[in-house]
Amino acid sequence: MFTTITAILAASAATVSAVAVPRGAGKSGSASVTPHEQYSSSIGVLGCLINTNRVAYWPMGVDCDNICVKVTNGDRSLHLLKIDQSGGAYDISYDAWNYLGFGEGAQQDPHTGGGIDMTYEFVDASECSDLLHDGKLPLSASNSMNYVASCMSEPNSWVNKNHELINMADPLCKYGYDEVCTLDLSKSNQPSCPHTLGAQVAYSGKGVTNIAYGTGKTEAAQ
């Protein structure tokens, strides 16, 4: 069920994992930015432990350093977590798009529409620390191993030094336990958790909510 981390690390020594290669943009630029309603993370970041209203869903893959992007429209700016890869659009969380475009959050004054021309700049990940979980990137212990292994092959990368593995099975936090797991490759190729790794037990804590496009109402993520 779980990929062997040792094998991934060996493969990473020969070629950089596709999930870690940025595509289609440099450190800064401009783009037509569109709203994104449903939270997701291609690398398994747990939505219940971060600010899901401050996420960027962009065409390039997620690497191990450039996960914090500053997006600006006129005199308004926000820092966003770049933790998902879109199919081609420069999407950001609906609430962030609404604020940058119109000056109010999506719950206070919801707007609809398409792309708005904005500028962006990838900045040091520490500038997004308030969006994280105690300053760390919380990842699914059972379903983020490809990404974790690619970052372990870059020992000086920000993610390698600043991630934590949590025993939840999915980014929407529907199954598992809010508990930190450890990874000691000298003992095992899988994380060690207080409960069974990847347990399909309904999570009893706070779930992930989305802000519905056009209405501003909060809804449980599906």
- Provide the strand spans (E) within the chain: 28-36, 55-58, 68-73, 76-85, 90-93, 116-123, 137-140, 163-168, 176-181, 209-211, 218-220
pLDDT at 7: 45
Question: pLDDT tens string for the chain (222 positions)?
Answer: 334 444 444 443 333 333 333 333 468 999 999 999 999 999 999 999 999 999 999 998 999 999 999 999 999 999 999 999 998 999 999 999 999 999 999 999 999 999 999 999 999 999 999 999 999 999 999 999 999 999 999 999 999 999 999 999 999 999 999 999 999 878 888 999 999 999 999 999 999 999 999 999 999 998
Q: How many other C-beta atoms are found inside a 10 Å radius of the C-beta of residue 194? A: 10
d(CA 55, CA 120): 13
Pure H helices in 84-144: 94-102
What H or E segment, with its residue span, contains residue 13? helix 5-14
Q: What is the DSSP string of 94-108?
A: HHHHHHHHHSS-TTT
pLDDT at 26: 62
Question: Domains in the chain, please, with CATH?
Answer: 20-128 (2.40.40.10)
Give residue for tokens 């290669």.
Answer: 21
